[in-house]
Amino acid sequence: MFKPNEYKTEIVRNGVRILRPDEYEAVLKGCTKSHHRTMLKALLYSGMRYIEMQRFQEHPSWFTGDFIHLPRFADRKVKRKQHERWVRLNPTGKMIIEYFLQVKEPLPAYQNWRDNMRRWAKRGGISPEGMGVKTTRKTYESWLMFYYPGFMADITLSQGHDTVTSIQHYLNMPFTEVDHLKMKNYVDGWRPDPHRFETYNNR
C-alpha cells in the first residue's frame, strides 16, 4: 500500500511520471497478471509510443530479431520527422519482445492502461502521481540519456525524437548514483557498437 514519503523523490515532467529503477520494480511487483507484466516490460525496453506498440502487436513481422522496424504509419504524429524508424533493443529487450509477440491478449485501451499503472504503483507501495501510457517510454529514454550521454544522436533516432526535444525533456534529471548503478540492469547492451563505422570503412 502506498504511503507518502517525508521527502518528495518522484520525477514528473510535463505531467508525466519518469520512474527510477526501484520505482519501476515496485510497479512491476504490483502487476500480478503475467500478460500485463510482459506488456509492461515490452513497453519499457522498447521505449515505443503506446499506439506504436498496439500496431506492432498487429504486425509482428516488424520485429527483425535485432530491431523493430516501424514504418511511417506506425503512429499518428502529424509532424513526424522520420519516415521510418529502427528501434534499437538490448539483448534483454529482444527476449522480452519475443515473449510479447506470443501474448494473445491485445494491449488495453489508453485509459485502462493508465488506470492499471496507477493501481500497480499503489499496490507496489509508490505514489501513482503522473503514471500513464507515456511513463515507460519517457522513463527508458531518460535512463538511456543518463547512462549513455555520448550516444544522444543514436538514442533520439531510435526513440523517434529530435535532439532538441530530447534535451528539453530528458537531460538534467535528478537521478542518483544508486539509480545509475541499477539502470545497468535495464540498459546494458543497448549502446551501439563503437567500431561499426570503423569496421565498415576498413572493408
For position 90, which CATH number holds? 1.10.443
3-state secondary structure of 23: helix
Of the pLDDT bands very low, low, confident and very high (cuts 50, 70, 90), residue 84 is confident
What residues make up the domain containing 43? 11-188
Q: Is the pTM of this model over 0.85?
A: yes
The number of angstroms, rounded, from the C-alpha of 86 to the middle of its chain's C-alpha atoms is: 14
Instruction: Answer whether residue 5 is part of any domain.
Output: no
Instruction: Answer whether residue 201 is part of any domain.
Output: no
What is the reported pLDDT for 22?
A: 98
The CA distance from 116 to 121, in Å, is 8
In the predicted structure, residue 197 carries a pLDDT above the cut 50: no
Instruction: Answer whether residue 1 is part of any domain.
Output: no
Residue 12 is inside which H or E element, if any? strand 11-13
Cell numbers 504511503 correspond to what residue?
A: 3
In the predicted structure, residue 81 carries a pLDDT above the cut 80: no
More confident residue, 195 or 137: 137
Q: What is the average pLDDT across 15-33?
A: 98
Sign of CA dihedral 30, 36, 42, 47: negative
Q: What is the average pLDDT across 161-184?
A: 84
Instruction: Answer whether residue 152 is part of any domain.
Output: yes
Instruction: Answer whether residue 3 is part of any domain.
Output: no
Instruction: Answer whether residue 121 is part of any domain.
Output: yes
Cell numbers 525533456 correspond to what residue?
A: 169
In the predicted structure, residue 2 carries a pLDDT above the cut 60: no
Instruction: Answer whether residue 22 is part of any domain.
Output: yes
Nearest to 25 by CA among 147, 120, 164, 143: 120
Instruction: Answer whether residue 71 is part of any domain.
Output: yes
Instruction: Judge whether 144 and 190 are in contact, CB under 8 Å.
Output: yes
The CA distance from 46 to 124, in Å, is 23
Tally the domains of the chain.
1
What is the reported pLDDT for 72?
A: 82
Q: pLDDT tens across 93-102, in order?
A: 999 999 999 9
What is the reported pLDDT for 203?
A: 38
In the predicted structure, residue 34 carries a pLDDT above the cut 90: yes
